[in-house]
Amino acid sequence: MKIIKRNGAEETFDIRKIEMAVTKANDAVEEAVRMTPLQIKRISQSVQIACEELGRSPSVEEIQDLVEKSIMAHGAFEVAKCYITYRYKRSLLRQSNTTDDRILSLIECNNEEVKQENANKNPTINAVQRDYMAGEVSKDITRRILLPQDIVEAHEAGIIHFHDSDYYAQHMHNCDLVDLEDMLQNGTVISGTRIDKPHSFSTACNIATQIIAQVASNQYGGQSISLTHLAPFVQISRERIRKNVEAELELLGVRPEEEQICAVVESRVREEINRGVQTIQYQVVTLMTTNGQAPFITVFMYLNEARSEQEKKDLAMIIEETLRQRYEGVKNEKGVWITPAFPKLIYVLEEDNVREGTPYWYLTKLAAQCTAKRMVPDYISEKKMLELKVDANGEGHCYTCMGCRSFLTPYLDENGKPKYYGRFNQGVVTINLVDVALSSGRDMDKFWQVFDERLELCHRALMCRHERLKGTLSDAAPILWQYGALARLKKGEPIDKLLYGGYSTISLGYAGLYECVKYMTGRSHTEEEAKPFALEVMRHMNDACKGWKALHNIDFSLYGTPLESTTYKFAKCLQNRFGMIPGITDKSYITNSYHVHVTEPIDAFTKLAFEAQFQQLSPGGAISYVEVPNMQNNIDAVLQVMQFIYDNIMYAELNTKSDYCQVCGFDGEIVIEEVDGKLVWTCPQCGNQDQSKMNVARRTCGYIGTQYWNQGRTQEIRDRVLHL
C-alpha cells in the first residue's frame, strides 16, 4: 500500500512509523495514563486496516486523523492530547514555508498528485514543471494573501472548489470563444508583428494555429474556433488557383473545355484544403504553450453558419477533410496511428445532414465513423439548441461552447444583434452538493439552510474572481483585448466594460447531484420518486444565479463542472468529514454534475432523454455522454444514437476506447488492475504496466485525456458500465 506525503510524493506505507509516533506521545505522559505496547500495536493495526479499506492511497493527514481517533477510541485521552499538540506544532513550522517541498518534489518528478492532476500534461517535461512551479507559488499567495480565509478553508475542506487557483495571482480568465473571423478578415498582431488578411486558405489555417497558441498562453481554460471563419478563404484560393491554371494553359498553348479547367481547379483546391487542415491538426498537437501543454482547443463544424450556398459547400469540404484526417489519427513515436487529444471536434446535427437523403448526410456518416474510432466529434443538436438558447428578441441561436462545455448565454450587442464570438468566461467556483446533503443529516429544512449558506459562500468566492479581473488593462494580453480575439480595446484601456451586462459570464459549478439526492431520499435521481427533488436542487441554484445577476449586473450562470482531479479531492474530503457511507462516500470519486452514476445500468437512449432535463437547467454549460463498446463495425447504431441526440438533447458525446501497447503492439482496450492497493493500467496481452510505453485515450471531462489520471478518476473510469 502506498501513501501520499505532504509534498505530494508517493511512499510505501510503513506501520512502524505509526507505532513510533504513538509511542513518543505515550512516553510523554504520566505513567499512570500510558497505554501498553499491545494497545499501541492494535492502534497501528486498526489504522492500517482503515487505510486499506479506503481503496486508494491515503494522505499523511488522513493517517494522522485515523491515529487520533483510534487513540481516543482506546480511552487514552492524555496520549491523544499529546499527539495532537505535537502535530499542531509541526503544522505551525510547516506554515513558515508552504511551497519549497512541493516545488522540489515537482523538479524531482516524484509528486504523484501533480503527475495525475491534468490528463493532458506530462509533468516530466521542463515547460510543464515550470508552469506547475509557478502554480505552486500562485496557490501559496492566493491562500495566504489574496482570498478571504473562510473561502480558503472551505476550498481546502472540499466544501467548495475555487478552480484554477494556480492562475489566480495573475489577472487571467477562464475560457473563450475566439473571434477568428475578425482577426482573419481585419488583421491582427502576434508578438508585435502585424498580420494582414491572408490571401489563401492554407495561410489562413497557419495564422489560425498561431492565434490558437497565443490565446492559450494568455488564459487558462479552453477556447473554441469555428471552421466557418476559414471557409471564405477557400474561394480566395480558388480564384488564385484558377488564375494560375489559366496562365499555365496559356504558356502551353492549350485551350481545354471550361468543365476541364474547373475540374483541375477544384482538384487543386482540395489539395490546399488538405494541407490547411493538416496544418491545424499537426500544429495543434505539436504546439506547446507557455503552460506546458497543447492548447485546449475545440473546432466547431456548423454548416448553417455559412452565409451563402457556395460558402456552405466550401465549408462542407473543410469539414469532410477535418473528419477524414481525424479518423486517420496521428502517429505516435513508434509510427503507429493513434487517437490525439486535440483538437476537440464538435459537429452540429441539422436538417441538412441528420437523415439519409439530406444533402450532407455523407458528412454525418463520416462523423459517425470517426466517433466510433477516435471518440470525436461530439454532437450539438441545432434543433434543441434553437429551443434553449433564446435571446431577448425571442430568437434561438446555435453556437459552440468555449472549450469542452462552458456555454455563453444569449447576448445582444449595442445594435441589438446577437454576439457570441469574442466573448469569454470570468471563472468558476464549484459547490459540493454531497457535502451539503451530509451536513444536513437528512433534515430537509437544514438541507436548504446549509445549501443557502454554501451558495452565498460561492457567491463571495465568485465575486473575488470578478474583482481580480476588474481593472485589468488591455496591455496584459494584447492578443485578447487589443487585437481581436476578444476585443479591440485601446492600449492602456481597462477591460471592465466587458465584465458586465452579459458580455462575459461567470460560472457557479456543481458536483455530486446523484449522491446528494441518494443521501437525502434514499434513491437515485433517475427514479421518479427522487427526480422532483433533484430538479428542485437545480432550480434553486439557477434562482441564486438570477439573484446575483440582478444584484451585480454580471451574468452568473449555472455550470455542470467537468471534475477531473477534483472528483478525487472531493471524495477524500467527504470521507474525512463524514466517514465511509455506503453508496455515498465509499468510492474515490463523486459523480460529475447531474450525470447518472457511472455504475448504474441504463440504456443510451433512456440516459440521454433523462439527462436532457438537467442539461436544460445548466445554461452555463453541460455535456452528456453514453459509454459504448467498439462500434466500428456497427455504424448504423452510432447513427441511431446521433439522430436521437438531434431530437432529444442539446449536447452529447459517445465514449469508446482507443488504446495501443508499444511493447507488444496490442490495439484494443488497455485495462485497469489493482496492484498493492493501487489501480494500474495494464496491457491484457503482454502485461505491460509501464505507462510511458502505452497510448491510452479516455474521455475525462469533455476533453479526451492521454496522460493518465489520479486514482479517483481511474477508479471512475474502471467502474463505467456500457449504455449500448
Measure the CA–CA gap between 315 and 232, rounded to whole angstroms: 8
How many other C-beta atoms lie within 10 A of the C-beta of residue 255? 9
411 is catalytic: no
CA angle 581, 584, 588 (to 5 degrees): 95
How many other C-beta atoms lie within 10 A of the C-beta of residue 85? 12
425 is catalytic: yes
| 652 phi, psi to nearest 5 deg | -155, 165
Measure the CA–CA gap between 499 and 403, rounded to whole angstroms: 19
Q: Could you tell me which of 330, 237, 246, 322 has the C-alpha nearest to residue 277?
A: 322
Report the b/e string of 102-131 with b at 16+ CB within 10 A.
bbebbeeebbbbbbbbbbbbbbeeeebbeb
Grid look-up 471524495 returns 571
Of 51, 402, 458, 661, catalytic: 402
Q: How far is the CA of 448 from the CAs of 142, 390, 455, 510, 531, in angstroms?
A: 30, 30, 10, 15, 17
Of 113, 305, 564, 627, catalytic: 564
Of 404, 520, 661, 683, catalytic: 404
| 569 phi, psi to nearest 5 deg | -60, -50
Of 702, 703, 705, 712, catalytic: 702
Q: Are 228 and 348 in contact (CB under 8 A)?
A: no
DSSP 626-687: EE----TT-HHHHHHHHHHHHHH-SEEEEE---EEETTT--EE--EEEEETTEEEEE-TTT-
Of 167, 220, 503, 559, catalytic: 559
Of 406, 557, 618, 695, catalytic: 406
**Beta bridge mates, 390:** 396
**Beta bridge mates, 3:** 11
**What radius of gyration do the chain's Cα atoms show?**
27
500 is catalytic: no
Of 105, 165, 226, 425, catalytic: 425
Q: What is the 3-state secondary structure (H, E, C) of 453-490?
A: HHHHHHHHHHHHHHHHHCCCEHHHCHHHHCCCCCCCCC
404 is catalytic: yes
174 is catalytic: yes
How many other C-beta atoms lie within 10 A of the C-beta of residue 274? 15
Of 44, 174, 237, 432, catalytic: 174
Measure the CA–CA gap between 377 and 484, rounded to whole angstroms: 27
Measure the CA–CA gap between 181 and 188, rounded to whole angstroms: 11
Residues 6+ apart with CB under 8 A from 268: 241, 245
Of 35, 82, 133, 175, catalytic: 175
Q: Are 139 and 147 in contact (CB under 8 A)?
A: no
How many other C-beta atoms lie within 10 A of the C-beta of residue 101? 17
Residues 6+ apart with CB under 8 A from 683: 661, 663, 664, 666, 670, 689, 694
Cβ burial of 141 (10 Å; 0-12, 13-18, 19+) is: middle
Coil, helix or strand at residue 1: coil
Q: Could you tell me which of 369, 196, 374, 198 has the C-alpha nearest to residue 285?
A: 374
Measure the CA–CA gap between 514 and 563, rounded to whole angstroms: 14
Sign of the dihedral defined by the CA atoms of residues 236, 238, 239, 244, in that order = positive
**Beta bridge mates, 494:** 473
126 is catalytic: no
What are the residue numbers of the active site? 174-175, 402, 404, 406, 425, 559, 564, 702
